[in-house]
Structure 1
């Protein structure tokens, strides 16, 4: 899965929930609260559900109610927000190497602003929230960042904890991908090709090791 030669890297883009922050949202409960019986039927049938894409098919009034529930759950989770171990050190290392650092999340902008203010990190720039459409797993947000940076996707690494969102976003854009899998829930040998990352790590500390060992970091 890993590549033999050191590769040129000029930027790193991160997911937020479950990557830069410790997971604080019970997504199963959120899906049930928003989707109701639709989620139960989909789960029983083994059909993957993307809550944001499901909501987009609804009437404006129903969408408004759904987003209100999601926002309430996200705001409640903000009170329990913790920075992921290794995140601060990794960001400081990236900044010291003068390479770019961005963020893509399916969370709202208010949550990104809260993250920046709470932990005192130098802000990710750009930081795209779900107000940017289309959102992950579309490659559009990552390609937008690459365009803003004036970089080719091949010079950028996408880091996230979701194979179906973060890895697919990165691979579709043509970037390198790193899957953060703390609990070994993914078996990369069985993942579909579009979800199989270039690298898999168990912590953000390992991402730092990966950057040092596998890449030429070029400002």
Structure 2
């Protein structure tokens, strides 16, 4: 793959590409064959579904206002609430999980599919590309998504699968089930710290969905973790896949 320019909506930022990239100044026309892609793995909340959980309010409810502000200041890429509470006492941890579950249940009542998600899945089907799902939400939310919108992802790993994102284990598990290499898969999600980190550590391609442009903020300018691609909507994924990958069955 050779890139001589970047479009306004897509970024190719692979610092450690899983395939040779010598002579970056050459053009695409005489470059090596495009990478073969055999499957896409999606995040759910904020990627396949419209954001329905007030995460800031949830974090404050779990951590308390002062602790929330302290951790947020120290973690520019976001707060990992699940890992943060892992070392708490059992009683305190149980209360935290109950608070998180309550916010998630209220989110289920407002569950909506993300614009472009159904159409993108249809496109993947037409190309015979597998589709999987990894979420830090509970299995109940995944089951409701499948039932309500009639679109199935397999495997679909929820919070019950340990370790969860950003650990690469769930993505590597899906690659194993599919019998493909990680660099034949793309991880698509709206979280730099969870989805992009998971994909990068597994050795997969990564695509960051940034609808609002929040990752263009100076807050993220010095964050080392970068996605291979960045889009502002799922509708942009079509051209990304067609332009940069071999999608032949």
Q: Which residue of 1 aligns with 2:223?
A: 192
Paired position in structure 2 for 1:31? 59
Q: How does 1:36-185 map to 2 (within 5 A)?
A: 36=64, 37-43=66-72, 46-48=73-75, 49-121=79-151, 123-185=152-214
Which of 13, 24, 47 does residue 41 from structure 2 map onto? 13
Task: Give the conservation status (yes or no) of the 8 Å contact 1:159–1:179.
Answer: yes
SS in 1 for 2:107: helix
- Unmatched runs of 5 consecutive residues or more in structure 1: none
Corresponding residue to 2:240 among 210, 213, 219: 210
TM-score, length of structure 1 as denominator length: 0.93
Q: Give 1:184 shift.
A: 1.1
Q: Deviations over 1:168-204 (max 9, x none)?
A: 11011100011111111113982533x2111111110
Which residue pairs with 2:4 in the alignment? none
Partner SS for 1:144: helix
What CA distance in whole angstroms lies between the structure 1 residues aligned with 2:197 and 2:223? 10
The whole-number CA distance in structure 1 between the counterparts of 2:138 and 2:124 is 25
Paired with 2:40 and 2:144, the residues of 1 have a C-alpha distance of 21
Cα distance in 1, alignment partners of residues 239 and 49 from structure 2: 19
Render the CA deviation track for 1:91-118: whole Å, top value 9, x for unaligned. Answer: 0110121111000111011111111111
Query: How far does residue 124 in structure 1 lie from its aligned partner after superposition?
Result: 0.4
Unaligned runs of 5+ in 2: 1-10, 15-27
User: Rg: which structure is higher?
Assistant: 2
Task: Give the CA deviation at 1:218.
Answer: 4.0
Runs of 4+ in 1 over 6 A off after TM superposition: none
Moved more, 32-41 or 161-170: 32-41
> 1:178 touches 1:198 (CA, 8 Å); kept in 2?
yes
- TM-score, structure 2 normalization: 0.82
Shift of 1:41: 3.3
- For 2:18, the equivalent position in structure 1 comes to none
Structure 2 residue matching 1:56: 3-state secondary structure: coil
- Report how many residues are paired: 215
Rounded Cα–Cα distance in structure 2 between residues aligned with 1:146 and 1:110: 23
Q: Is 1:99–1:218's contact at 8 Å kept on the other side of the alignment? A: no
> CA RMSD, aligned part only?
1.7
Distance (whole Å) between structure 2 residues aligned to residue 175 and residue 42 of structure 1: 29
